[in-house]
A = this chain, B = another copy of it.
């Protein structure tokens, strides 16, 4: 997934408790993955809670675009979600598609 889309930097599968179950990254300048997992887990948890409160259905996907990166988050199970981190000018559409595809495949393997 990371190498399949130009500009892919890292991918993680992690729990809402902030524990990463698997990660892959390329290049030397990638931000600290441990930090990312610890920082994003409560955000995704909070968004899920919010959606419950405002009754807009189950969370499926979150995208965060910033000055130099694009982060895609896809919910997997009640306990797990996947993250793909890309360069802002990377092949973002393809990365998002691959995250969906690979998350789906992983879920099938897990079930």
Contact = CB atoms under 8 A, between A and B. Distances in A.
Interface of A: 31-32, 35-36, 39-40, 42-43, 46-47, 50-51, 53-69, 71, 88
Listed residue (A36, A40, A64, A88) with the most chain B CB atoms within 10 angstroms of its CB: A64
A59 to B, nearest CB: 5
Contacts of A54: 31-32, 35-36, 39
Q: In the complex this chain forms, how many copies of it are found?
A: 2
Interface SS, A side: mixed
A42 B46 contact: yes
Contacts of A40: 50
Nearest to A57: B67
Nearest to A40: B50
